[in-house]
Amino acid sequence: MAADGQTAVLDTAWAQIPHSREATAGIGSFTRSRVERIISLVAGGLGSLIVGAQAFVTALGPSDERPGWHETLMIAVFGSLSIMILACVIGRGVRLAAGGFALVYMLALAVWPIATAGIAPRTLDEPWIWYLVNLATLAAVLAFPFPLQIGWTILAPVLFGLVRLVQGGFAADYWIAVSLDVSFALILGGVILTLGWLFRSVAVNVDETRARAVSSYARAAAADAAEQERVAVAALMHDSVLAALIAAERATTPRERTLAAAMAREALTRLANTEQDAHEGTDEPRDAYQLADDIEAAAGELGVEVDVQRDIAPGSPPLPGRVARALSLAATQAIANALQHAGGAGLGVALSASEGRVRVDVHDAGEGFDLDAVPDDRLGIRASIVARVAAVGGKADLETDAHGTAVHLSWQESAS
C-alpha cells in the first residue's frame, strides 16, 4: 500500500511539471531537443536554402571547370545539400544528411584543382563553390562532435584558399583576394560555431537544472507520501485494532462487551478493505449535512446514539471527499475516546459550516487528562486525530481539565 501511495504522488508531481514524451524518456534532452530542432530548421533549413540558391544561380553561369567536371560537382554538392535541407525541414536524419554534405563538400574542394587543371581563372571573383564554405561549417555543427566542428570551421576556408591559389598558379594578384575570402569565411564560421555551442550549452544547463528540480520534487513527494501513509496506517492500527483489543480486554459489563464487539467488527472491515481504501477514501465531494450523517452513523457503530447539532449556513460549499473522511474519522476517534475514558458522560457533537469553513466539536464531561503525560506510543490523539486532520490541511485543538475534554476540528477552504 505504501508503494502505491508513493507512485500516485509521483504521478501527481509529474502532472504539475510541463514535459513531453521525449522528456519522459530522457529528462536531460527536454530543452536540448528543441534547441536542436530550432537550429536545424532555421539555419539548416531556411538559411541553407537561401545561401544554396545563391550558389546554384552562380553555378549556372560560366564556370572554370573542365568539361564534364562542372556537372558532376554540381550534382554531388547540390544533391547532398538538398538532402540536408530536406532532412532539416522534416526533422529526420539531420545528422546523417548534414554529415554527408560536409564530407561531399570537402571532397569537392579537394578535387577542385583537378577539375580546373589547365584552365586559368577568368576573374578574381569567387567561384560558385565559395558560397558554400560556411554551409559546410553549419553542416559540421549539425552533425559532428565539438572538436570536429572546430576542425571543419578552420579546415574548410583554409582548404578553399589553398585550392584557389593552386588554380591561380599562386599569382600575386590572388593572394590578397583569397586572404580576404578566407578571413571572412573563418570569422563567419566562428560565429556559427560559437552560436551553436552557446545555444546548446544553455539548453544543457536548463535541462540539468530542471532534472535536479524534478528529482528534488520527486524525493519530497515520495517522502510526503511515505509520511502520509505512515500516519494513515498508524491511525488505522489504533482506531481499529488496538482500540478493539483494549476495549475487549477491559469489557466487564454487557454494554462494554457490545461496544468491544462493534469495534472488532469495524476493525476487521477496515483491515479487509485496506487496499481499496487507500488515502482514506475518494475525493468525491460531500456536503456538511453528509458529514454530520457520517459522524452519527460511525457513532452508532460504536454502540452509542449521537445527535450531531448542526449549524450549517445555506449555500455552504461541499468538502473534498478526503477532508470529509478525515474529519469524520477524527471525530469518531474523539467519540471513541470519550466512551472509553469518560464512559460517554456528557458526550455531545456539534458541527458548523459557513463560507468554506467547517468546524466539528466533540466534548464530554469526564475527568480530563494531562495531554503532556500521554506516552509517545499512544496514537489515539496524535495520529488518529491531530495528524489525520493536519494531513488534509486542517487543524485539531484539544481542551481538557477536570470538568471534561473538548476536541475542536476545523478546516478552512484555501483561497485560490
Provide DSSP, 263-285.
HHHHHHHHHHTTGGGGGGS----
What pLDDT is recorded for position 231? 66
What pLDDT is recorded for position 241? 65
Distance CA 101, CA 93 (A): 12
Contacts of 397 (CB under 8 A, 6+ apart): 407, 408, 410
Compute the average pLDDT of residues 234-259.
Answer: 67
Q: Which region among 7-11, 349-353, 369-373 has the lowest average model confidence (pLDDT)?
A: 7-11
Compute the average pLDDT of residues 264-275.
Answer: 57
Please write the tens of the pLDDT for every residue from 126-139. 888 888 998 999 99
Contacts of 249 (CB under 8 A, 6+ apart): none
State yes or no: pLDDT of 8 exceeds 80: no
- Start-to-end CA distance of the chain, whole Å, equals 32
Q: How confident is the model at residue 81 (pLDDT cuts 50, 70, 90)?
A: very high
Higher pLDDT, 189 or 247: 189
Contacts of 107 (CB under 8 A, 6+ apart): 76
What pLDDT is recorded for position 291? 94
State yes or no: pLDDT of 23 exceeds 80: no
Specify the DSSP class assigned to residue 39.
I
State yes or no: pLDDT of 27 exceeds 60: no
Enter the C-alpha cell of residue 24.
Answer: 519522459
Asked whether the CA dihedral 66, 70, 72, 73 is positive or negative, the reply is positive
Q: Which region among 198-207, 227-236, 392-401 has the lowest average model confidence (pLDDT)?
A: 227-236
Compute the average pLDDT of residues 65-83.
Answer: 90
What pLDDT is recorded for position 24? 40
Enter the C-alpha cell of residue 19.
Answer: 514535459
Distance CA 28, CA 246 (A): 55
What pLDDT is recorded for position 79? 93
Amino acid 94 reads V
Give the highest mean pLDDT range of 26-40, 321-335, 368-382.
321-335
Distance CA 304, CA 258 (A): 10
